[in-house]
Every structure is written in C-alpha cells, then in structure tokens.
C-alpha cells in the first residue's frame, strides 16, 4: 500500500463529504458538457488536530487573499471556478466588503411598520460593480463554493475534485493557493509522543 493510500485509510472524510462530492460531480459534468475551461482554486489555511477529540490543534493561518482574488480573475477570463476554501477565510467578491467598512456603506430606515436597508448613495459606485459580478457568477453557475477546515478535509476534497476534473484533460487547471500544513502527526504516534 502506498503512503497516500494509507493516509486515506487512516483519516475519515469530512462529515459532509458525500454531499460535496455530489456537488463537485454535478458542477464538473455540467461544465464539461459545455466544453468550458475549469479551474480548482484552493484558498485559506488548514488545521491539524493534535488528538482524536479535537481540543488542541496546529493552525496554518492564511486570510485567503491570493485565492479569493485569483478566483475573481479566472471568472473574468471565462473559467468555471471550484473555490475550495477554509471556512471563514476571504471569499471572492465579499472580500471587498469586510467588517465595519461594509456596514458604513448601508443605511437603515424604520417607519414603524417595516424596516428597509439601502446602500448609501456615495457607496453605490463601490458596491454595485462587486454585486453585479457576484450575481453574474452565481446566476450563470460559474462558481462552486466548497469549504474545509482540517488538512484531512482538504486532502479528501482535493482528491474528489481532481477525480471530477480528469475528464476535462487540458481544459482543467489546478491553482492551489491554500496554505496547507505540510505535516500531520498520526494519532498512534501522538500517543507515543505524549507518553514520553
């Protein structure tokens, strides 16, 4: 048995793995039929748990700036994009509108019977192009969002995505921008380390 097979035999897939694999398969089949070019963009960091019931972990932090920016670039150049990202890291389009900056762009009106939220007039020029690009990508089904947390989640999803992308041959591109932890400690070794 090769080393990579051993990894998959000793690490469980993410709990939502089958749902994500179905989404990946459907997305790839649709774009392959359309003869589209496709890219897998990975983004953000990964965690490595230090025990079975994870309380402590090593975190390879990445905000996801490169991956989310690159996903937007590929969409502008007519690629279908699988955006595989660390939960809570930056995402395409919304990366432009984070925190208080986003809330400073909005107004709220409450007339007693209903509440409405509007974009401030001086923020429309900033917000409208971002929203238009986001809507275009989602409505044309050119982007699929899949998230991960641990290095094991990442590797399970990466393998599933690559299996789906194989049919595209030269029309597929891998753009792996995630900050993936380049190590993991097998649980049986961790027990030995802790005993010593």
pTM (two decimals)? 0.85
Strand 79-86 relative to strand 37-43, pairing:
parallel
- For residue 53, count other CB atoms closer than 10 A to its CB: 5
- Can you give the residue ranges of every domain in the chain? 3-92+141-181
Neighbours of 148 (CB within 10 A): 28
Which SS3 state, helix, strand or coil, does residue 83 take? strand
Specify the fold of 3-92+141-181: Rossmann fold (3.40.50)
Dist. CA 37–CA 95, nearest whole Å: 24
User: What pLDDT, on the 0 to 100 scale, is given for residue 191?
Assistant: 44
Residue 180: its pLDDT value, please? 81
* DSSP state for residue 122 in the 8-state scheme: G
Per-residue model confidence as pLDDT tens for the chain (196 residues): 567 678 788 878 989 999 999 999 999 999 999 999 999 999 998 877 766 666 666 767 788 999 999 999 999 999 999 999 999 999 999 998 877 788 889 999 998 889 999 999 999 998 999 999 999 999 999 999 999 998 889 999 999 999 999 999 999 999 999 988 655 555 554 443 444 3
């Amino acid at each position: 048995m090769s080393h990579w097979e051993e990894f998959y035999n000793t690490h469980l897939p993410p709990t939502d793995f089958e749902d994500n694999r179905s989404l990946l398969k459907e997305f790839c089949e649709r774009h392959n039929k359309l003869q589209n070019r496709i890219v897998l963009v990975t983004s953000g960091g990964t965690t490595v748990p230090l025990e079975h019931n994870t309380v402590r972990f090593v975190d390879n932090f990445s905000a996801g700036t490169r991956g989310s920016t690159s996903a937007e670039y590929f969409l502008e150049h007519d690629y279908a994009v699988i955006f595989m990202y660390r939960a809570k890291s930056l995402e395409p389009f919304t990366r432009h509108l984070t925190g208080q900056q986003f809330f400073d762009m909005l107004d709220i009106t409450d007339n007693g019977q209903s509440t409405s939220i509007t974009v401030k007039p001086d923020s429309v020029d900033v917000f409208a192009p971002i929203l238009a690009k986001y809507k275009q990508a989602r409505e044309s089904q050119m982007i699929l969002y899949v998230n991960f947390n641990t290095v094991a989640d990442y590797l399970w999803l990466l393998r599933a995505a690559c299996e789906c992308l194989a049919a595209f041959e030269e029309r597929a591109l891998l753009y792996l921008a995630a900050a993936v932890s380049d190590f993991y400690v097998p649980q049986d070794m961790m027990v030995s380390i802790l005993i010593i």
